[in-house]
Structure 1
């Protein structure tokens, strides 16, 4: 009897082991699939890097030159406070990503203000480029967005200090304010502009940011970051900007809508209509033009009788000399063409326009307590628009 029971236990144990083995075998293909995918990913790492290099190559540089430039670049780590600040911005404002364009255009405007102020005492600073403008260009093919200004530009030292290692004077205060307004995204949205840290909002929509800058006192340099670390290197193309800064964003897949011309135009009009400098957008338009029609080639066939010359001339006169075709042309379109609010008649201006203008120039989230807009005439004629803030 004991032998019989022992035999049953052994058989049951064997059956259990067999079942477990079968289960393991049934799971194995799934594990192998995953491993296979991992191996495939390993094999394509180089291809991914190559595609990224191709996608974010700068104008005038091929993939090999970009690779060489990055190998020579100086690597830097972001200061701890800057890293913390970037994370706060990215995590807190992910629902309002569009403010990145407002902040980058605002920075461009500040750079233009600085060079214009310097030119009052030294006109020669504008010799490299007398134009004071901001230009926005979308590159759908490569997923890039360029914001270029002809402002004061940054030296190599400026790029390292202002965009990475040394926290600005307002950073600590900004972090404190963020802690106080953690549950108020709209207020946080306005704080970014007030404390001068709006540049980092670029990482809301971009996997990688490239800043090319040329200051009159230095060579042209390229700053690049994926928000983890940043590099700075002398631009192998030389001086292509003349003077100023170009911010290039390699947009995330989910942010590709910001490459659409209509989207960019609406955002510029919404946030940057009252910027003092002209903002141009690289836009396309389709127009109908007339082109000459190619002359019909008459083939001479042996054995055929010659046609009457007068008849041929009459037929040719009846044929149209031109044809209408549609062509797509590209050019810079001025977006902020609205007349400055202070030069218009007060009776023509809505209260909402006054409020939007106030918020644009002060970066205040609240409406002004009061305002007055008047024109004084006499020996000296001038127009004035005065605001009293709520705080």
Structure 2
């Protein structure tokens, strides 16, 4: 199986914008490295949400594993951090499209803004242009992504050191690939080994991703039992009286990718012929592209 995978491995070169972006991620947005974990968790939650929508039409996609979750696995000895979800997963073509190219039209504006800004401001812009995944190269010398599209048997591996190229090949061991969803394994740099410490990772998750509507579990080391660190309860489903100002601010920052305070928070539940809950924020600062969308 391994020999076959090696024979069929495909090498690709990042498109020009991605290569340029990766260089800036490492050299310009270096001051707030914690942001990479928020972005990976956000992507994992999006994958779970996409599966939920597709499963409405095709319930068989869920199989016997209907509960969405995100699992973080720490391996201090090997200096690795893994972020795994059981969401929709990716096929080979989806993997190349999602991880090898940037299709968002605002990417060039993002890169120009980073080049002209201070590092701290650049970190605030990550996540607004669909480029959050690439922030993992701020802390990783190599990234392996193993994914299996829900409802399929094939699993694929994407590997890159973030220096200009990546490879895609069939997963060498289908039993080690997720039954569905995606596992991202970060081979951390020497000066980023703190991201294998439980207290560091747990602090970042609770500060920046505590309100992600998918339960997050933490495995302190390979072979240990997972411990749930967030319950996946969406903030807007909680009574207003049970939510603190700090929780609203953390949630606002998580969904907006900003680091300012919301100027106004609106949270209410309407009941009548239709019932719904609304949670809205007005940012404290105007977006940089407000007059040039």
Query: TM-score per shorter chain, which class?
Result: 0.7 to 0.9
Counterpart residue number, 2:282: 388
* Higher-helix-fraction structure: 1
Counterpart residue number, 1:213: 147
Distance 2:237 2:15 in 1: 45
Distance 1:111-1:339 versus aligned 2 partners, 3 A rule: closer
Greater CA drift, 334-343 or 273-282: 334-343
CA contact under 8 A between 1:187 and 1:365: conserved in structure 2? no
Structure 2: gaps of 5 or more residues: 287-293
Does residue 262 in structure 1 map to residue 199 in structure 2?
yes
Distance 1:381 1:157 in 2: 40
Greater CA drift, 208-217 or 346-355: 346-355
Does residue 144 in structure 1 map to residue 80 in structure 2?
yes
Does residue 244 in structure 1 map to residue 244 in structure 2?
no
Deviations 1:350-381 (A, max 9, x none): 32222221222232343333222234455665
Paired positions, count: 281
Q: How much is the aligned-residue C-alpha RMSD, in angstroms?
A: 2.5
Counterpart residue number, 2:125: 191
Does residue 337 in structure 1 map to residue 239 in structure 2?
no
Distance 1:385-1:167 versus aligned 2 partners, 3 A rule: closer
Distance 1:338 1:147 in 2: 16
Distance 1:103 1:120 in 2: 26
Which of these two proteins has the greater Rg computed from alpha carbons? 1
Q: How does 1:169-318 map to 2 (within 5 A)?
A: 169-180=105-116, 182-183=117-118, 185-215=119-149, 216-217=151-152, 219-228=154-163, 229-238=165-174, 240-283=177-220
Deviations 1:97-143 (A, max 9, x none): 11111111111111111111111222122127423110000112222
Does residue 107 in structure 1 map to residue 43 in structure 2?
yes
CA contact under 8 A between 2:41 and 2:70: conserved in structure 1? yes
Counterpart residue number, 2:63: 127
Counterpart residue number, 2:26: 90
CA contact under 8 A between 2:212 and 2:233: conserved in structure 1? no
Deviations 1:129-168 (A, max 9, x none): 4231100001122221111001111111122222124554
Deviations 1:290-328 (A, max 9, x none): xxxxxxxxxxxxxxxxxxxxxxxxxxxxxxxxxxxxxxx
TM-score normalised to structure 1 length = 0.66
Structure 1: gaps of 5 or more residues: 1-60, 285-328
| Deviation, structure 1 residue 218 | 6.4
Deviations 1:247-273 (A, max 9, x none): 001111111111011111111111110
Greater CA drift, 82-91 or 341-350: 341-350
| Deviation, structure 1 residue 348 | 4.2
Greater CA drift, 344-353 or 203-212: 344-353
Does residue 371 in structure 1 map to residue 274 in structure 2?
no
Distance 1:339-1:379 versus aligned 2 partners, 3 A rule: same
